[in-house]
Each structure stands twice: as C-alpha cells, then as structure tokens.
Structure 1
C-alpha cells in the first residue's frame, strides 16, 4: 500500500507540473512593450528571467555552485521574497483618474492608440483595489514556490513541513499575506499529496522594520530634504523633455502635464502589462529614451529613500539582518551537533522596501558615483536599477551548505548567483562571510541606530 500511495503522489505531482505549464502557455503571448524593461519596481519578474516566458517552471540547477571538490549538501534555506504583481495604490489610482479625464477632455492629437484611449479604454481601477494582489501576483508566488521546491527538494518538502521545520513569516499588508498563501498553495500543488495545514506568522518587526525605526521615519520618510535629488530631477531638463514629447503626442500644451501625471501614464502602461498582460495604448506615449528618464527618476527615489543614499536606510534593516544570521547560526550549530534542525527553511514575505535596505546593508549594488539630479548621462551603466533588483516576486536566497571542510554560504538574487562583496567565490566558507560582516554582527544595534537624537541630521553616504 505504501508503494502504491507514493507512486500515486508522484503521478499527481507530475500531472500538476504539466497542467501548470499548459495553463501558463495557453495564455496568448502578448506583445511586450519596448519600454517594459524600464518599469523599475513595477516590472514583471519575467523581464528579468525571460526563460520563464517559455516555461514558467524552468529551473537552472547550475546556479547552486559550491566547489565540486567540497562535496556540499544544502541544509538550510532562508528566502526573503517580495510580494507578487498588485493593483495600484489609492494615490496612483487617483492620479490615473485625473490623467484619463484630462486626455479624454482635452487631448487633440492623432493616432489609433489615442482614439483607443479616448473611446475604447475605460477607467476600470477603483480605490478599493488599493495595492491588493492580483491573479498574476498569485501565479508569481505559486510558480516561485514550485521552482524553489524543485531547486531545494530536501529543504522544501512535505515531510519537512509536517515536522514543523519550514517557517513562514509575512508582513501584515494584505498583498503580502495573499502572496504567502499563494506560495503555500504552490508548495501544496507541487507535493501533490493530501492537503496539509499551513500556518504563517505576521511579523512587521522584521518585514516592515522601516516603520519602527524612528531615525528613518523622521530622518528620511518625513524629511523634505532627504529626497531633494528626486525633486530636482523632476524639474530638470530630462523630465522637461519627456513632458514636452508627451504633450506633442497627445496634442496638449505640455504645461498641462505635471511630472506626477507623466509618471502616472508610465505607471498605467506598466500596470496594464503586469496585471492584464496587455500592450496598452498608454504605452505609445513613450519611446525608449523617455522610459530611461522615468526609470532613472524612479531609481533616484529608491536609492535615496531605501538604498545607499542615507546610512539610516540600510541600518534600519539591522533586525532582519541579525534574524537571518541567527537563523543560519542555529542551523549550523544543530547540524554540527547531530541534532535535528529546527528550521530547514525560513520563507519571509515582504516588500521592495524590505529587500532594498537589506541589500544595501550587505554592501550590494553600490556604484562608484551615486545617482543625482545632475549626472543622469553618466549613470546609464549603473548597477542600481530597481527593476533588475526588486521586480514583483523578487527573492533573496541564503543557502547554507554542509561541506567536507566546513559550512559554506551562497547568496542568490532572483534565482541567479550573487557574490558577497569582496569574496571571490559563489559559495564562500561561512566563516569568511562572517568575517566580512563582523562589524555588523557585533554592532548594527537597531535601538541605537534608530534612536532619534537632538540635532541628529540625515547621514548621507556620498
């Protein structure tokens, strides 16, 4: 009976894989807007991994790359994941509504795409949508779960869950909770066995640490000068050129188009594509140069608000940093002592605002010259491109290996190897990683970092 049951489970899992691939491939492949690679944090995961357009469950096992001679076996996975594709927030829905009304009422340009906007496109976004996860976002997380279970079959298994060794943490925001439920559903579909009882823990202290750091809230979030580079760029010549060209295409005086309305149109193009897989007529308002400017404006905001621009941005993620390394330490200690691991995997669902400060704290994606309002033309080769780092369903993976000569740690971002700064191997010895971050492991105290002190000013890392 046991063999028959196991065979049936394997058949069910295989059938689930086939049906998922068939369902995804049966959707008519839309034309991809030429500007899609510049959507920043509103980019689809597939723009970063185009192989998934051919096979949504494609897994590249060669990304797990400890030295062959080290004879390594993965023993723990910590995954920090961004939620999937979502609806616009209320703020952007209101801007889209204002833009649509302006275009319908006053645009006098020509072109089939404009006629389609004015007579065939309905303003279907409503304020009750407010950032909620969409069906595409659920697919993002279900299929990510399946790919990770194929990549780490010994760590993300039904047996590990039944032994309570897979932990699920999420932000309290509904798009993250829904993403976690979709991820768990993906695991269930992949396993193909009887239904299992999933649980998750809401933990904003780890997943929304930025809200609890007073130094960040007062020094950046509520500080008008913290994003001055963004404000300067909004009024600069590059953005003025985008406004002028957009006005000409619409047949509108460009002064009728504020920078916020220009951005709303670009966002609308991205939402229609990420939510509905449509090459929207709104996308024809922009050429590739326009898209590069708008991507840069978005990256400026992410850099100065969440990235390397101010030291407190990255330092606010100290609680999550310590939690990750404490989990790795416990897994390594238990394995060395021969005890059962308390956690084979820790799945943590958060936001772009969760990942970017952590990546910055780790010293990643820091270019020689910071992006500013004045150096757009020298920044085309920058590594800090938010759409390449934190698209929808972005994921940062910490893989701990047991190896013949000691543990090793590998970092992957969006299912691709990412080296720790200053280390020359994809999976260096764990002790080398600890040495590289010793200053953070012994410091980076969230209470002292986030304490608001009299006269304390925002600290830039320029």
Structure 2
C-alpha cells in the first residue's frame, strides 16, 4: 500500500473510531431537526481558548440532555406501525416496485424494534458518551475556570427532574473528574417548579397563550396540508413501492425514528432514513421547524422574554465574587431554543410561514438544536476589564449586540438591563395580568 493510500485509510479509520462524520449537503442526515446527532455539529477543535492579557475565570453553561430514546407513543409506533410497514415495503419490492437498493432492503430486513415504552426518553449509550466527551473538551479549552479537581464550593451542577437530564449531568461529571471525585459530586436538588431550567413549564400565561393555543400550530398545519407536502408524501410512498399514499403521521413517525436511530448508533444510519431523499427530508425538517419557531422561538415575544430568568442567573454569577466558578445546567430543547431567541440569535429575516419553505433560514433546528446542544458563557478577567465569550455547541459565536466575539461584560450588562432587573416571572406569567400574545 502506498503512502497516499495509507494516509487516506488512516483518516477514514480515525473518523470511524471517533464518531466524526463529514456529511455532504445532499445527505438526509443533514435535515434531522432536533434529533440530529451531536457528533455532526460540535466543534472538534478542543485546544485551549486564550486571549492576550486575559484569563478565563468563570463559566456558566446550559446543555440539552444527550441522545435519548423516543416517547412512549413513538416507541409503540415503532413496535407496531413500522413493523407492519417494513413487511409491506419488502413485499412490494419483491414484486418489482419501489426504488430501494438491494443493500437498503437488506438493512430494512434486519431492522426490528422491541423497545420498552416504560423507558421512554431515557438517555442512551451515545448520550452518555456525548456528555463525557463534552466535559473533557470544555476542561481543555478553559482549564482555569473548569478545574480538574472537584470542589463543592467552586462547582455547581443542576438538572431538571427527568432521567435524561439527571443522567446527562452524571456522565458529564465522569468526563470532568477522576472516578473518585465524580462519585462524590453533589448535585443541586431538583424542584418541581424550576424557573431557570424549565421556566416555561409553569408559566401559566405562556401555557395558555402559546403552547395550548391552536394559532401556534397554524403555520405547521398549513404546510402539513399543502400541495407540496401532499406531493412529498406521494413521492415517499412511491419510493417505498407502496400502492397507497402514506399519511403524514406515518411519514412523520418514519422521519423521527430515522433521526433517533441514527443518533444513538455511531456507525449506522437508520434504515428508515432510506425513505427520504434530500428534498423530502428538507420538507420534514421545515415542518418541524415551523412548530419550534412558533412555540419555542420568535413566534410570540412571551416565549423568549421568560428566558430572562436564566440570563439573569448567569449575569448575577459573573457580577459577583461569590458563588461557583463553574456552573453546569442540564435541561431540554425547549429551554435552549428560548434562550437563543432571548439572545437574538438565529433570528430569521421574516417569520416562518406554512405557504413558503425558506431554505436559507437562520432558524434551522438541525443546526442549532441537535441532541446535547449547549450554550456556554465564559468570563475572562482582562487587563482592560471583564469580558465574556459565548459559545454555542462549542463554537465561539459573536453575540448580536457585541462588536467582537470577546465582549465587554459592561456592554452586556447594559444591553440586558431589563433581563436582569425587570425580570418579574410572577407578573409575566400570571393569567390575572393576561394580555393577548403576539
């Protein structure tokens, strides 16, 4: 084997062993929405981040839990609807119908599902790995703020009252400390009402005006019943060799399971992804993005205003000599998306609508809200005063209100003055002060 061939083989083996995958633009795995694997998105450069005459002194980080199992409803769908559909597809191809290749049919033939619905949304092995490796990389980047030795006075770990968040926090500490220290980590107690990690769950006005408001789902409904979606369903059904057109619910189930199974298996793509090409995967991605835009993003101002509680918590920590140097919080997709909107990140040029698919939109959950998505703020003590660095999915980003990536703390405190000093959760979320949501 020549030198070039050996080098190519080495690269391929490295990517395979590390779980790093380079995706081409037409790959359907680029369009998996909130079920996108973190290994497709994180910043692989874990070298120390440093600035002249500055030292990292504090970090405040909030992360979505790692890769999880589907909901009980989707698990039941896998065990019934998709099992039946599998044999229908195989039979159709035996009759010369459909466009799946021999290899794809073999993978579908091998597919089976016997997941226990009682373990819905549990963290997977891949989710554990995501958290361990994320912790290792954050320590390498910011060794002053993220010490290797555990101290209950300088570290704060907190998670929501869910198995997937609790386990994510646990495996993160395994990646951060040696075994003995990791076993001795003290986690902040969980509370039924958590105004920082899951503020929206108990915001009565948001629950009524947004989550339970049919208008929130109007644009998604329009797109789901549009002519282009009908054509997409027909094309998918034809690709699978079926004589009837699959319902949106069934195609949506296939799409979600495509994402879940691809996420929790490092080296294999779910055979349910074979049902989609780039065009149909983009349609399904947009169908879900419409929901997240109107429920978790910029659709209603109350949605992202209530995230002031999390932002306030971060700034209070950075503005004080007290409190932990390293704060790590473990929450959910709904938390991260609302905070991103509060920060004015990934705001589309126009509201997302069901009558037009905006391909070049900034609000694309496949890129901004994959499993284990995270947002970190790092306080740097500099000769010219305190500065803050923001990272999203471990990639340094420039906040819209800042001139540079390393932004003066004073600038941020002034811009987020209302978030810090006028963040009245009770008043904001009380139905007695109800106003019509935008």
TM-score range, shorter chain: 0.7 to 0.9
Given the alignment, which residue of 335, 338, 357 partners 1:357? 338
**Is 2:376 aligned against 1:397?**
yes
Which one has a larger percent helix, Structure 1 or Structure 2?
1
Q: Matched residues in 1 for 2:269 and 2:184: separation?
A: 40
Go from structure 1 to structure 2 and tell me whether the alpha carbon gap of 1:151 and 1:29 turns closer, same or farther (over 3 Å shift).
closer
Which residue does 2:28 correspond to in 1?
35
Which residue does 1:166 correspond to in 2?
155
**Is 2:312 aligned against 1:322?**
yes
Instruction: Describe the superposition over 1:22-80 as per-residue Cα deviations: whole angstroms up to 9, x where unpaired.
Output: 9996479899792111111101112113x74xxxxx50435x5x5x3xx1111110001
Given the alignment, which residue of 379, 392, 415 partners 1:436? 415
Whether the 8 Å CA contact 2:62–2:376 is kept in 1: the answer is yes
Q: Matched residues in 2 for 1:363 and 1:30: separation?
A: 30
**Is 2:27 aligned against 1:48?**
no
1:78 counterpart SS class: strand
Which residue does 1:61 correspond to in 2?
48
Which residue does 2:69 correspond to in 1?
87
Q: Matched residues in 1 for 2:34 and 2:426: separation?
A: 29
Instruction: Describe the superposition over 1:171-211 as per-residue Cα deviations: whole angstroms up to 9, x where unpaired.
Output: 1110000000000111124xx77665101112533211111
Structure 2 residue runs of 5 or longer lacking an equivalent are: 1-12, 94-99
After TM superposition, the structure 1 = structure 2 runs for residues 237-316 of structure 1, keeping only pairs within 5 Å, are 237-255=227-245, 257-277=246-266, 278-316=268-306
Go from structure 1 to structure 2 and tell me whether the alpha carbon gap of 1:48 and 1:151 turns closer, same or farther (over 3 Å shift).
same
**Is 2:92 aligned against 1:109?**
yes
2:274 counterpart SS class: helix
Q: Matched residues in 2 for 1:287 and 1:148: separation?
A: 36
Displacement of 1:403 in angstroms is 1.1
Figure out how many residues of one structure are paired with residues of the other and give that number: 412
Structure 1 residue runs of 5 or longer lacking an equivalent are: 1-21, 53-57, 335-340
Which residue does 1:19 correspond to in 2?
none
Q: Normalized against structure 1, the TM-score is what?
A: 0.83
Q: Matched residues in 2 for 1:106 and 1:73: separation?
A: 61
Whether the 8 Å CA contact 2:20–2:39 is kept in 1: the answer is no
Whether the 8 Å CA contact 1:113–1:284 is kept in 2: the answer is no
Go from structure 1 to structure 2 and tell me whether the alpha carbon gap of 1:109 and 1:30 turns closer, same or farther (over 3 Å shift).
farther
Displacement of 1:371 in angstroms is 0.9
Q: Matched residues in 1 for 2:304 and 2:154: separation?
A: 30
Q: Matched residues in 2 for 1:29 and 1:381: separation?
A: 25
Q: Normalized against structure 2, the TM-score is what?
A: 0.87
After TM superposition, the structure 1 = structure 2 runs for residues 347-386 of structure 1, keeping only pairs within 5 Å, are 347-376=328-357, 379-386=358-365
**Is 2:89 aligned against 1:100?**
no
Q: Matched residues in 1 for 2:429 and 2:20: separation?
A: 47
Whether the 8 Å CA contact 2:79–2:114 is kept in 1: the answer is no
Moved more, 359-368 or 432-441: 432-441
Which residue does 1:224 correspond to in 2?
214
Whether the 8 Å CA contact 2:32–2:285 is kept in 1: the answer is yes
1:81 counterpart SS class: strand
Q: Matched residues in 1 for 2:386 and 2:18: separation?
A: 44
Instruction: Describe the superposition over 1:298-350 as per-residue Cα deviations: whole angstroms up to 9, x where unpaired.
Output: 111111110011112112222212211111111xxx2xxxxxx4311100011
Go from structure 1 to structure 2 and tell me whether the alpha carbon gap of 1:119 and 1:443 turns closer, same or farther (over 3 Å shift).
same
Go from structure 1 to structure 2 and tell me whether the alpha carbon gap of 1:327 and 1:303 turns closer, same or farther (over 3 Å shift).
same
Displacement of 1:433 in angstroms is 1.0
Whether the 8 Å CA contact 2:74–2:253 is kept in 1: the answer is yes
Instruction: Describe the superposition over 1:384-426 as per-residue Cα deviations: whole angstroms up to 9, x where unpaired.
Output: 1112112111111111111112111111111111122132110
Instruction: Describe the superposition over 1:417-451 as per-residue Cα deviations: whole angstroms up to 9, x where unpaired.
Output: 11221321101211111122223223232112111
Whether the 8 Å CA contact 2:204–2:430 is kept in 1: the answer is yes
